[in-house]
Structure 1
Amino acid sequence: MSTSTHAYRAAILHSIADPAVVGIEASYEYFDDGVLVVENGLIKAVGHAVDLLPTLQGVAISQYPNALISPGFIDTHIHFPQTGMIASYGEQLLDWLNTYTFPTEQQFADKAHAAEVASIFLKELLRNGTTTALVFGTVHKQSVDAFFEACEVLNLRMIAGKVMMDRNAPDYLTDTPESSYADSRELIERWHGKGRLHYAVTPRFAPTSSPEQLSLAGELFQQYPDLYMHTHLSENRQEIEWVKGLFPERKGYLDVYDHYRLIGPRAVFAHGVHLCDDECKRLAETGSAVAFCPTSNLFLGSGLFDLPKLEAHGVRVGLGTDVGAGTSFSQLQSLNEAYKVMQLQGKKLDPFKSLYLATLGGARALYLDDKIGNFAQGKDADFVVLDYQATPLLSYRLAQATTLAEKLFALIMLGDDRAIKETFAAGNSVHKRD
Structure 2
Amino acid sequence: MASNPAEAIALNARRAFEASQLVAPSERDIALTAIRTALSEKRDEVLAANKADMDAARPLVEAGKLSASLFSRLDLGKKGKYDSMLQGITDVAALPLPTGQVTFAKELGPGLALHRVTCPVGVLLVIFEARPEVVVNIAALAIKSGNAAILKGGKESTLTATLLSKIIADALAKTQIPSTFVQTVSTRSEISGLLAQDKYIDLVMPRGGNELVMSIKNQTRIPVMGHADGICAVYLDKSADENKAIRVAVESKIDYMAACNAAETLLVNESLVNTLWPKVANALAAVDVSLRCDAVTLAAIKGQPAEAKAQAAAAADFDTEFLGPEIAVKVVPSVGDAIKHINEHSSHHTDSIVTEDETSMSAWARGLDSANCFINASTRFADGTRYGLGTEVGISTGKTHARGPVGLDGLVIYKYVLRSEKTDGSLIADHEKGQGYTHTDLARDQPPF
Q: Using structure 2 for the length normalisation, give the TM-score.
A: 0.28
The structure where strand makes up a greater share of residues is 1
Of structures 1 and 2, the larger Rg is shown by 2
